[in-house]
Chains A and B, each alone.
Chain A
Amino acid sequence: MKVSIVSLTCCAGCVSSFLNAGDALIEILSGDFEIVYSPTFIDLKEIPNVDLAIVEGGVRTKEDERLIREVRAKCRTLVALGLCATHGGVTSLGNILSLKNLLEKEYSLIDTTKLPELEDLMYPICNFVDVDYYIPGCPPMPFLIVHTLKSIVSGKQPTRHQSVVCTECHRKIVPAKLDRLYGIYEKEADPVLCMVSQGFVCLGSLTREGCGAPCPRAGFTCFGCRGPPDSMMYRSRDMYAFLVKVIASRTSIPEETVKEELYRNPFVFHTFIFSRFERFKARDRVV
Chain B
Amino acid sequence: MNGRREITISPTTRIEGHGKVTIVLDESGNVADAHFYATEIRGFEYFLRGMEADRLPFIISRICGVCSTAHITASVEAIESIYQTEITETAKRLRELLLMGQIISNHSLVCYFLTLPDFWFPLEEDSSKRNIFQIMRERPDVGRRAIALRSFGARILDVIGKREVHIFSVIPGGIINPLKERERVELLKEAENSYAIAKEALAMGKELFDKNWADFKKAGDYRTHYMALTKEDAVDFYSGNIRIINSEGGIVSEFTAQDYMEHVEEKIYPWTYAKFAYLKVLGWPEGIVQVGPTARINVNRRTTTEVANKEMQEFKSKFGRPAHITILLDYARLIDLMYAVERAREILQDSNVTRTDTRVKVEPKGGRGVGVVEAPRGTLAHEYVLSNDGRLDQLKLIIPTQINNQAINLNVKDAATEFIHHGEIKPGLLNRIEMVIRAYDPCIKCATRQAGEKLVVEIRNHRRKILTIL
Q: Which residues of A contact B (CB under 8 A)?
A: 6-17, 19-20, 22-23, 25-26, 29-30, 34-35, 39-47, 57, 60-61, 63-64, 67, 89-91, 93-94, 96-97, 101-102, 105-107, 109-111, 113-116, 118, 138-139, 142, 183-185, 188, 214-215, 217-220, 223, 265-267, 271
Cβ A11 vs Cβ B64 within 8 A = yes
Residue of B nearest to A99 (CB): B43
Cβ B268 vs Cβ A106 within 8 A = yes
A33 to chain B, nearest CB (A): 10
With contact pairs A67-B452, A215-B162 given, residues A138 and B39 touching in the complex (Cβ less than 8 Å): no
Alpha-carbon gap, A183 to B52, bound state (A): 10
Size of interface on B: residues with Cβ below 8 Å to A: 83
**Chain A residues in 8 Å Cβ range of B105:** 16, 20
Question: Which one of B14-22, B302-310, B329-337, B412-420 is at the A interface?
Answer: B14-22
Given A8-B450, A43-B431, A64-B452; 7 other pairs, CB 8 A cutoff? A19-B147, A20-B151, A40-B16, A42-B128, A43-B455, A114-B271, A220-B169
B338 to chain A, nearest CB (A): 21
A106 to chain B, nearest CB (A): 7
Question: Which one of B170-178, B225-233, B246-254, B287-295 is at the A interface?
Answer: B170-178
Cβ B449 vs Cβ A42 within 8 A = no
Does residue B216 face the partner (Cβ distance < 8 Å to A)? no
Alpha-carbon gap, A259 to B468, bound state (A): 63
Cβ B127 vs Cβ A46 within 8 A = no
With contact pairs A19-B150, A184-B171 given, residues A43 and B65 touching in the complex (Cβ less than 8 Å): no
Cβ B268 vs Cβ A214 within 8 A = no
Question: Which one of B130-138, B181-189, B197-205, B378-386 is at the A interface?
Answer: B130-138
Cβ A223 vs Cβ B58 within 8 A = yes
Cβ B133 vs Cβ A29 within 8 A = yes
Query: Can you offer 7 A-B residue contacts whose CB atoms are under 8 A?
Result: A22-B151, A61-B40, A102-B43, A102-B46, A110-B273, A185-B362, A223-B58
Cβ B131 vs Cβ A185 within 8 A = no
**Chain B residues in 8 Å Cβ range of A142:** 164
**Chain A residues in 8 Å Cβ range of B113:** 19, 41
Cβ B455 vs Cβ A44 within 8 A = yes
**Chain B residues in 8 Å Cβ range of A118:** 41
**Chain B residues in 8 Å Cβ range of A97:** 43, 46-47
With contact pairs A10-B449, A13-B65, A41-B114 given, residues A223 and B13 touching in the complex (Cβ less than 8 Å): no
- A-B complex: 4 closest residue pairs judged by Cβ atoms: A13-B65, A109-B270, A45-B455, A11-B65
With contact pairs A42-B13, A115-B273 given, residues A26 and B147 touching in the complex (Cβ less than 8 Å): yes
A221 to chain B, nearest CB (A): 9
**Chain B residues in 8 Å Cβ range of A7:** 17-18, 450, 452
Cβ A11 vs Cβ B445 within 8 A = yes
**Chain B residues in 8 Å Cβ range of A8:** 449-450, 452
Alpha-carbon gap, A113 to B20, bound state (A): 13
Alpha-carbon gap, A20 to B114, bound state (A): 16
Does residue B11 face the partner (Cβ distance < 8 Å to A)? yes
Alpha-carbon gap, A23 to B144, bound state (A): 8
Cβ A12 vs Cβ B131 within 8 A = no
Work out how many contacts link A and B, with CB atoms closer than 8 A: 225
Cβ A20 vs Cβ B154 within 8 A = yes
A32 to chain B, nearest CB (A): 14
Alpha-carbon gap, A215 to B449, bound state (A): 27
Cβ B445 vs Cβ A42 within 8 A = no
Cβ B455 vs Cβ A96 within 8 A = no
B280 to chain A, nearest CB (A): 19
| Residue among B140, B147, B362 with max Cβ neighbours from chain A (10 Å) | B147
**Chain B residues in 8 Å Cβ range of A271:** 55, 59
**Chain A residues in 8 Å Cβ range of B364:** 185
B421 to chain A, nearest CB (A): 25
Residue of B nearest to A109 (CB): B270
Alpha-carbon gap, A116 to B269, bound state (A): 15
**Chain B residues in 8 Å Cβ range of A116:** 39, 451
Does residue B62 face the partner (Cβ distance < 8 Å to A)? yes
Cβ B165 vs Cβ A10 within 8 A = no
| Residue among A12, A183, A217 with max Cβ neighbours from chain B (10 Å) | A12
Cβ B154 vs Cβ A14 within 8 A = no
Does residue B50 face the partner (Cβ distance < 8 Å to A)? yes
Cβ B451 vs Cβ A185 within 8 A = no
Does residue B224 face the partner (Cβ distance < 8 Å to A)? no
**Chain B residues in 8 Å Cβ range of A215:** 162-163, 168
Alpha-carbon gap, A178 to B165, bound state (A): 34
**Chain B residues in 8 Å Cβ range of A63:** 39, 451-453
CB < 8 Å: which of B130, B150, B464 contacts A20?
A: B150
Cβ A107 vs Cβ B55 within 8 A = no
A141 to chain B, nearest CB (A): 8
Cβ B166 vs Cβ A43 within 8 A = no
**Chain A residues in 8 Å Cβ range of B455:** 39, 43-46
Alpha-carbon gap, A94 to B177, bound state (A): 33
Alpha-carbon gap, A13 to B273, bound state (A): 20
Alpha-carbon gap, A218 to B58, bound state (A): 14
**Chain B residues in 8 Å Cβ range of A35:** 133
With contact pairs A42-B131, A43-B127, A183-B54 given, residues A214 and B173 touching in the complex (Cβ less than 8 Å): no
With contact pairs A218-B176, A219-B177, A220-B176 given, residues A25 and B65 touching in the complex (Cβ less than 8 Å): no
Cβ A184 vs Cβ B452 within 8 A = no
Alpha-carbon gap, A45 to B11, bound state (A): 8
Residue of B nearest to A188 (CB): B359
